[in-house]
Structure 1
Amino acid sequence: MERDSILDEIQELNLSYLLLVQRLLSEDRAIAMFRLKIDEPMADLLSSLSIKEISQLSRMNQLVSRPSFEDAAQLETLLRNQRGQGLTQTHLAMFMASPVLSS
């Protein structure tokens, strides 16, 4: 895949993500903040972005979002645990809801 094509896809993903964030915040702010792991000032800022500002931000050459998977071993254990097959979704939700610990 060409470099320009990859950059276009990153920018398209950024735009989609930012529009989704704004929609989630407008529909249910508390749940959106919890799911996105953002605080009140960030929610205020993201909610107030104009289309022009969203467009500018989306044109970055890197993703504006990042997965909240910080511990690959823990995620792998959750996904591949044969004993807890019926609880995988619950365990994943708990894992995703836990705060990110920085070293």
Structure 2
Amino acid sequence: MQNIDLLDEIEEINLAYLLLAQRMLHSDRVSAMFRLKIDDEMADLLLTLGARQLARLARTNQLLCHFGHDSADRLRQVTENPRDQGLGRFHASLLMASRAGALSAAEGA
């Protein structure tokens, strides 16, 4: 029974994530692609998915979203920053952007 509840919660998160991704892409495509870490082809595909396709995709037993941080150390840098001074969002954005830049550089190599 607990496994079924967990799968229901995964489906709910997946659907919310997909709907949010579509809304972000409609609102500001470039910013959404950066924040979602997706390329043009994926953005186009997400925008073309209908309600039935979104529901089918959401029913997978895997989370479609993922952590933007690639290591526990990187996450600690955001959550345990003693110099925060109200710049937590900015600091997290910089850390995540540096990861995206590293991925882009690796793909180009």
TM-score (norm 1): 0.88
Q: How far apart in 1 are the matches of 2:74 and 2:67? A: 14
| Residue 84 (structure 2) aligns with | 85
Identity rate, percent? 45
| Residue 76 (structure 2) aligns with | 76
Q: Tell me the CA shift for residue 67 of structure 1.
A: 1.1
Question: The residue matched to 1:73 in structure 2 has which SS?
Answer: helix
Q: Tell me the CA shift for residue 88 of structure 1.
A: 2.8
Question: When the two structures are aligned, how many residues end up with a matched partner?
Answer: 101
Amino acid corresponding to residue 69 of structure 2 in structure 1:
F
What pairs up with 1:61-72 in 2 under 5 angstroms? 61-72=61-72
Q: Tell me the CA shift for residue 13 of structure 1.
A: 0.7
What pairs up with 1:35-46 in 2 under 5 angstroms? 35-46=35-46
Q: Tell me the CA shift for residue 45 of structure 1.
A: 0.4
Q: How far apart in 1 are the matches of 2:78 and 2:57? A: 34
Q: Tell me the CA shift for residue 56 of structure 1.
A: 0.6
Q: Tell me the CA shift for residue 65 of structure 1.
A: 1.1
| Residue 28 (structure 1) aligns with | 28
User: Please, which runs of 5 or more residues in structure 2 have no aligned partner?
Assistant: none
Q: Tell me the CA shift for residue 42 of structure 1.
A: 0.5
Higher mean Cα deviation, 93-102 or 34-43? 93-102
User: Please, which runs of 5 or more residues in structure 1 have no aligned partner?
Assistant: none
Which stretches of structure 1, 4 residues or longer, exceed 2 Å deviation after superposition? none
Q: How far apart in 1 are the matches of 2:81 and 2:60? A: 38
Q: Please, what is the CA RMSD of the aligned residues?
A: 1.7
Q: Tell me the CA shift for residue 73 of structure 1.
A: 0.8
Q: Tell me the CA shift for residue 92 of structure 1.
A: 0.9
Q: How far apart in 2 are the matches of 1:77 and 1:50? A: 39
Structure 2 residue 15 is matched with structure 1 residue 15: yes
